[in-house]
Chains A and B, each alone.
Chain A
């Protein structure tokens, strides 16, 4: 550190001349940040993710600039938060938005090259009854070839040169020496990834006529004759089936489609514009179940806030009264459902609501056979009940806090002015409690709107809406519908459609929250 005799600065790092221990700590932390950042950049480079690479470079440069410059003081405090927001929120949302405009899903999971490779591979078949012959991989310069043994003769060929007889083999095993060629032993072959890839992709034609097929190897020691029926023409963007002459053209829907409308099995990811959004609003099979789901989601979110809030508030009032003994213990007991993992509670309730074996029908309904899980309305009631049970303690806590922080002098003044209990309640207590709790109610609304856990664990969104695709059910809310549509658990995946729906949900929740926060400002005028 040559800074030991530096002038004292008023903006500066230190008042003692040298930069001190704080600077060393900072240096160490920044070294870690740089190391992590560089690792990220390197792995992004290796994976070829250019967007992430750009992000990482910009973030790292910004971090180094902010923390090693004397300016940008506010940013020193803001940058970590900003970086995490970019990484975990803006990026995720941006990516979801991007997927929403693609056809990413079953049959469209990769690049066009992947689809082409798949088509070529699916079109390549082993010639029936073609023998498996011993084979060696041979090399001349940097050209690879195969040497095979057939009927006592050794034949050699490359990708451009068909097989030619070069000698005889005494033992009928794969040749270990071939004149003019260097034989690559299996030892060298299998320990080189690069060679392996070349060998797996090498096809040696058996004659000048390409339709006779070519030799390929799958293990590096034996070969057989394969015929390929598909030809890819990158310039024309077509794949031609040589057996029947059908030409499959690349379409802007990410498929290879022939004139008669048939497509090859494998497609690729393309941008489809607003197609996914249009489907959500126009596809008759999706629209009506989804409208039902959306309506139920709103009802569910509103009731999941209002009902437990009402119960919580009532309980808070009751247990805020000093005349009650053992308030602490009772309050603690009230919090139990909240302390219990929702995941498990929902599962337990699923068993308890079972029509035949469930404890609820047995104990409370005298063994009646009430179909809690199979009737759409009863299932909605039941799942709402479970959610109320899970969440009212939260509101109980919040309201208790708000009640205990009420200014005693105000209430006293009101009492002196002759306000009765009811008047105190409506004019002073409730408004003040609401001012304190309204923001929490809004965040709870957003949380309930997307409360996947309870819905999924309790009845998996069931019972199914008759004829609805994707197993959409009567208690499905939008988020669990997204889960069903994405097909993560099944195999018919439609990430594009699911992402489009996610974007819509984001907009709805965002808009409702924004409006509600505006409204709460009005409440504060009471205070």
Chain B
């Protein structure tokens, strides 16, 4: 009896198994495509499944390109939606186990840590490389190898309330404060410090106007030499302190992202420093805005960080040829780039499109700001910088001694980078 029941169980189990597991999809013969992306006959990639990680904003755009790709090649494209912030870590941890995607969306400052983890593949865009803005290609270049196909740039800029202070771009911090005072607003400027966490990213334009870059740059790219020390760095720290809570109070740790946007949107602040992602929140209550380059606080050009997004190819991808095909012939095209832009309006890295969309005043403003900007360093050491850097800025804003706090931060940083 026992044998019988075990046998019955096994039979039932296999039946259930058969029901649960999906067999491999039948390969379908693809119809001859009418508009193949290449001049050759369309390729046949039936039976191949391409997995792409994307975030919510860009999903619709990639979906369009994926649909065309599926129709023309017979491949299956699976889009996995993830939080943008989670992608880097998940990618690093899943690729080595063989569970990762073939392609993923990502930011250029991850290059260092992804290379360090050994999870991305170099790519060669061939003739297509010249269609992208050079700065975006540079951003994804690490140790003179290209690791991703860029698609958009982003940077922060000075956003001003034109109803209060007009459209003219203030050249310096002092001009800006004066213009705001003249207009008689509560707060001349509102700057996000992410509350008590600190936001060195937003402050970076002002910092570089004192000539204190986070890492020293030479002709090959970023070195691991911290550039924030010395006199220039101290000057910036003192300026931060003078405008902090114990000084003029223009910069305070009571401001986080939402407060910042709320104060500006309700007309309580004349100027703010924000990125294109915040425009919607800033104009939610109907104020009119103009996007301008960040004013100089220390006499030199204020260079904010420029971030570039693009597509990385997994080093463990078993479909590298198909993935390359998708990238170069289905994403690196005018239509696909335009679709990406329309799904999520960022400054395109695709040169012709970048010119085209500059007719939008806000985009044009961010483009102008990015011309002053520098790519965020993409070396792995960058990841160790943020915590100490943010914390030191908060302490200085709150009234700690500027010079000693700053120099201690620089030496701690140098020690941790080793």
Contact = CB atoms under 8 A, between A and B. Distances in A.
B283 interface: no
Given A27-B12, A218-B124, 11 more contacts: A109-B93, A122-B145, A186-B40, A187-B43, A191-B47, A218-B123, A220-B321, A224-B124, A464-B395, A491-B113, A493-B89
A118 B1 CA distance: 58
B113 A106 contact: yes
A258 B91 CA distance: 29
Interface residues of B, number: 91
Contacts of A68: 2, 5-6, 9
A2 interface: yes
A193 interface: yes
Contacts of B254: 354-357
Contacts of B394: 374, 463-464
A374 B144 CA distance: 43
A460 B67 CA distance: 42
A109 B92 CA distance: 7
Given A464-B394, A493-B92, A265 B116 contact: yes
Interface in A258-302: 265-266, 285
B25 interface: no
Interface string B125-139: 011000000000000
Contacts of A34: 9-10, 12-13, 16
B40 to A, nearest CB: 7
A196 B322 contact: yes
A441 B96 CA distance: 44
24 contacts: A23-B5, A27-B12, A34-B12, A39-B21, A47-B97, A69-B2, A106-B117, A109-B92, A110-B96, A125-B144, A189-B321, A190-B44, A191-B44, A193-B319, A196-B318, A196-B319, A196-B321, A265-B115, A266-B115, A464-B197, A470-B387, A489-B89, A492-B383, A493-B92
Contacts of B47: 191
Nearest to B38: A221
B43 to A, nearest CB: 5
A462 interface: yes
Interface in A17-64: 23, 27-28, 30-32, 34-35, 38-39, 47, 64
Nearest to A65: B6
B361 to A, nearest CB: 31
Interface string B11-27: 01111110011000001
Contacts of A125: 144-145
How many interface residues does chain A have, given as a range? Answer: 35 or more
B252 A356 contact: yes
B196 A190 contact: no
Nearest to B13: A34
Contact of B259 (A31, A110, A357): A357
B279 interface: no
A74 interface: no
Interface string B36-75: 0000110111111000000000000000000000000111
Interface of B: 1-2, 4-6, 8-10, 12-17, 20-21, 27, 40-41, 43-48, 73-75, 85, 88-89, 92-93, 95-99, 110, 113, 115-119, 121-124, 126-127, 143-145, 195-198, 252-254, 259, 315-316, 318-322, 324-325, 328, 380, 383-384, 386-388, 390-392, 394-395, 398, 400, 405, 408-409, 412, 415-416
Contacts of A220: 321
Contacts of A222: 126
Nearest to A488: B89
Contacts of A196: 318-322
Contact of B196 (A6, A39, A193, A464): A464
Contact of A114 (B13, B15, B118, B328): B118
- Which 7 A-B pairs have CB atoms at the shortest separation, nearest pair first? A110-B96, A118-B118, A31-B12, A464-B391, A356-B254, A34-B13, A35-B16
Contacts of A489: 85, 89
A117 interface: yes
Given A374-B398, A467-B412, A110 B387 contact: no
